[in-house]
Each structure stands twice: as C-alpha cells, then as structure tokens.
Amino acid sequence: MDSSLTQNPAEYPENRAIVRLRPKAEARAIRHGFPWVYADELVLDRRTNGLAAGTLAVLEDAERRPLGLVTVNPKSKIVARMLDRDPAAQIDQSWFEARLQRAMALRSRLFPTPHYRLAHAEADGLPGIVIDRFGDTAVVQPNAAWAEALLEPLVAALVSVTGVTTVVKNGSGRSRSLEGLAEEIVVVHGTAPDGPLPVPMNGATYMADLVGGQKTGLFFDQRDNHAFTAKLAKGARVLDVFTHVGGFALASLAGGAASALAVDASAPALALAEAGAKASGFENFSTRQGDAFAVLEALATEGAQFDLVICDPPAFAPAKPALEAGLRAYERIARLAAPLVAPGGYLVLCSCSHAADLSSFRNASARGIGRGGRRGQILHTGFASADHPVLPQLAESFYLKALTFRLDG
C-alpha cells in the first residue's frame, strides 16, 4: 500500500464520509486497479444507505485501511466508483483539468483534427463520463450520479482545457437510468449548434446532430474499422446495414467504392447520411429505410449481390442476462447477410456488446455464415480506435469487435 495515503480518518477533509468493504470482499482487485465496488461487496448499513447519490467517500477495506476516494450511489448496482487513489483528493475544477489535459494530450497526438472521443469514462480516470469533441463543440454524457452532481466544475474544466465554445449535456441512455438519473439534453455552455455539424473523417464528411441524434451524434469508435474496410472497397458494390449517419458506406465511397446502399430503421439518421454523402461529393449513394432483418431478407428475395457487406448493429447483448438472445441475433445477422456477398467478396460483422466477448461473437458469426451456406476466412479483427482506450482491469471497456471475412463461392 502507498504509505502516502491518509491513514487517520480524522485527517480526511471536510469530515468526509467513510464506506467499508465487507470482510469477504476482495480488496486486492481494487488495489490492482479495478474501479468498481458492487452492492454486495460494501457494508450497506443505515448510514451508507442514507448517503446521497454521488457522495464522495473514503473507501476502506475490512481492516479499516484506506483504498482511495470513491463516489457512492446506494441506489446503483455499482455502489462505489474509484475516483482517486488519494482519499484526501479534492474533486474540483483543477482535478478535472488534470484528467482532461492528460486525455487531450493523447488525442492531439493521434488525430490531426479536433474530432474525437476526449474522455472514455473509467479508462481515462473519469468514471461514468463520456466526452466527444466536435471542433469547437463538445458533448458530455454524465452517466453516473457524481458526474451529474459535479457537472459545473467538469464543464468549466472542459472549456478551460480545450477552448470549446459550446458544451451540450446529453443526459440520455441506459446507464443513466441504472443510476436513477433523469433524461435531458440541454446546452450547458455557449449556444446550441445551428443544425448538424460536418465532421471530416477517413476522407468523407459526416453530419453529426449533437442535440437530436443518437448518443453524442457520431460514433468515433469505428474510425479505424472504417479505414480498414475502405481498403477493400475500391470498385465494390457496398451494402452498409445499421448505417446510422453513413458509417461504413461513406468511408467505402471515399475508398473508391462503385456504389453504396445504406440501410437503417431511422429516417432522420438516413437523412443525415444523405447530407453527408452530398457534402462529400458522392453521387453513387442510396438509402433504404426499414428493419435490418427484414431488409436483408428482402434483398435476398430480390437476388441482390454485393462485393462488400457490413453489419454494425446496436448492442444485442448490453448485459449478461441478454447474452444468449444477443448471440442468437448476431448469428441471425450473419446468416442473412452471408448469401448477399458475391463470391470472393467480403463480410464485416460488428458487435458493441461488452457482454459478448470476442470468442463468443466470433463463434456466433461463423455459425451464422455456415448456416447461410457460405464459408470463409477471417482477414482482420478490429477494435475501437485509440480515442476509446481500454482499462485492462475492466472488461466492460473492451466492447467493440469488428470481424472481416472473405467468403468463398
């Protein structure tokens, strides 16, 4: 243990609350970097249960030795999240600035334009906080109670470190509901964007709706997988299923695809995809609205064939209870997509479900391809781009997988 940590509870600042692990809880995992404490691992007495969601507290092991500073939400399954190894740390604007400066140093080195995920929650030392940057505008997702409570110093630090002029709070999604937080999307600094923002990426221009779109408006995590797929797209007929705002389709056209058909259930998303194609100067781009499974079945009935097919669905297995059903859905997608790939063509299958590990997803995809009457080889396995770092101790931060198959006749 770090001897510099405060040992005497009387030395904790501002009469800071203390929470304690149960005697049988594994303190070693926390010491080695695991950032969460589950409800069944913490002593939840009347005092702890009475703490307001987002309260800062010193976490101690069963022998009353400090492990660090955590934020507590007695209403959440993840009852405590590690913020700082120093239990006396002050979580203020300066603290946020230090974390954000470290995060931005990495992104600035990797990306030539200021369009990237700036903060990737636990992996960047900001549990439950996601920040995507779109030039002079940033979108913050405070997905944990402590982030909601300290939004003001977080936003002040974000503006100070990056110089952004507009900050949008996107308070929506499953994570917030699990924390007992209300949903709202509101501009918390500056003025609302005047319509979708153009975002250059991989030779294409994507249109991101930061106020009315899905999540933060654009999925930066697929950047590297878009780039790899574009290498296969020259002269190809491309089908991009679950395209969102153009996803793989626009990147493929930038890579020289002969044509691209983008499929999504959302009419607003397809409208943004069309606007992106226009802004990019792509004329050989078309869309088809509808349920992905139904569209895949219809395309097979129509005898359609493509040289490159990409399926990038939402998380079919967002948590372990949904794993079995999610793997069946991934298998079905592969089964329906495989027959649409021309002999010698390519099939890209993606999963953003952290509950479905790489091996399980790969097996489900291979079964589906086989059930679709095809065989193939895996050419490439892709993951989230480097602005979505992985915390080694937290499997949930390793979520995105992209498998590229070349299929035989």
Q: Name the catalytic one among 121, 245, 352, 369.
A: 352
Number of helices (H), then strands (E), in the chain: 12, 19
Whether 296 contacts 241, CB under 8 Å: yes
Rounded-to-integer distance, Cα 111 and Cα 126, Å = 21
Say if CB 275 and CB 281 are below 8 A apart: no
Using CA of residue 154, residue 390, residue 337, residue 257, what is the dihedral sign? positive
Phi-psi region of 247 (alpha: psi -120 to 50; beta: other; left: phi over 0): left
What span, in angstroms and rounded, lies between the C-alpha atoms of 269 and 246? 8
Angle of helix 358-371 versus helix 323-337 axis, rounded to 10:
40
Tokens 């002079």 identify what position? 136
Is 350 a residue of the active site? no
Alpha carbon separation from 196 to 112, 138, 212, 288, 356 (Å, rounded): 21, 13, 9, 21, 33
Taking residue 47's Cβ as centre, other Cβ atoms within 10 Å add up to 11
Q: Residue 80's closest CA among 23, 173, 18?
A: 18
Give dist(CA 278, CA 61) in Å, integer: 58
- Judge contact between 161 and 138, C-beta under 8 A: no
Decide if 148 contacts 75 (C-beta within 8 A).
no
Q: What gap in Å lies between CA 311 and CA 348, rounded to an integer?
A: 6
The Cα–Cα gap between 103 and 323 comes to: 32
Residues 6+ positions from 277 with CB-CB distance below 8 Å? 246, 249, 250, 253, 285
Identify any residues that bridge with 115 across adjacent strands, giving them in sequence order: 134
Task: Tell me the catalytic residues.
Answer: 352
